[in-house]
Amino acid sequence: MAVRCSPPGGGQRSGSVWCERSGADVTRVALITGASSGIGLATARLLRGRGYRVALVARSADRLNEVAAELGALALPCDVADIDALPDLVSATVDEYGSLDVLVNNAGVHYRGSMLRHTPQQLAQMVMVNTAAPIALTRAAAEVMQPGSVVVNVASLAGKLPLAGAATYSGSKAGVRFWAMAAAEDLAERGIRMATVNPGPVDTGFFDEDLEHVTPMTFSQPMSTVEQCAQAVLKAIEADESPMEIDVPFASGKLATLGYVAPPLRRILRPALEKRGAKVKAELMRQKGLSG
């Protein structure tokens, strides 16, 4: 069920609590998945601060409603792995705001370590959330989006380079990247742009629950903040290019691309990168009181 919330001082509208920010440009509407924390929450805050009306999607209804109350947003609790429920997210957004201009496919799940550690259901969930859900939700959104709208997919640098210890996650993110590149041509027929943001490691607490199983290679690159990633999403929204990709950080993206197109070079660089990443991982584990 959709919940409309506002901070103190919001007005009443149609029996729902609502927030209007004086002087704000509220002409654009964004639907953001994975919006209760991390990159999704940072993106929601950034867009709301710029006057967007935002509809927020996450599995945890309690946390999502707290965020909606903070931002004056539409809360749509949903597990995006439930493909049949995704068209309802689009309908609820349009029913509330009258349009949908921006879709941010941000929700993601990652079970860490060798695929042999995980059940077939866990592996399938990664594919459903990371790849199938963005495809299905974009298909539903395309039915109501007008020319000038944009779809932004938050993928990963792991989708640009095979990553041992994250095989299914890496494959699922590669899948959404390549789908986005191809689907951009389909969406162009309706004047809808497609973009992808590829973060490297992000300081979100995403690693904390299973740190010992995170591959050292993950930590070989600089850690970005959720705010930096949100700025990349905003840049993708405001750009004219389609399809387009933004890597965060830029240099890590170039290194990943180089490693993909030149496998011999990847093999040469890998030991040094893994050594660097292992040092960072060991320090993080020490800080958290975990054994190496």
Q: What domains, with CATH codes, occur in the chain?
A: 3-287 (3.40.50.720)
94-152 pLDDT per residue, tens: 999 999 999 999 999 988 888 998 999 999 999 999 999 999 999 999 999 999 999 99
| Rounded-to-integer distance, Cα 47 and Cα 8, Å | 20
pLDDT at 265 (0 to 100): 62
Q: In sequence order, which residues have a C-beta less than 8 Å from that of residue 141 and are 6 or more positions away?
A: 31, 90, 100, 103, 149, 151
Contact 92, 68 (CB under 8 A): no
Q: Radius of gyration (Cα) for the chain, nearest Å?
A: 19
> Model-level pTM?
0.80
- For residue 244, CA distances in Å to 77, 150, 233 come to 30, 11, 11
In this prediction, residue 196 has a pLDDT band, given cuts at 50, 70 and 90, of very high
| Active-site annotation, residues | 169
183 is written with which tokens? 């689907």
Is the predicted pLDDT of residue 1 greater than 70, yes or no?
no
Instruction: Kindly state the helix (H) or strand (E) to which residue 193 belongs, with its residue range.
Output: strand 193-199
**Residue pointed to by tokens 């320090």:** 283
In this prediction, residue 56 has a pLDDT band, given cuts at 50, 70 and 90, of very high
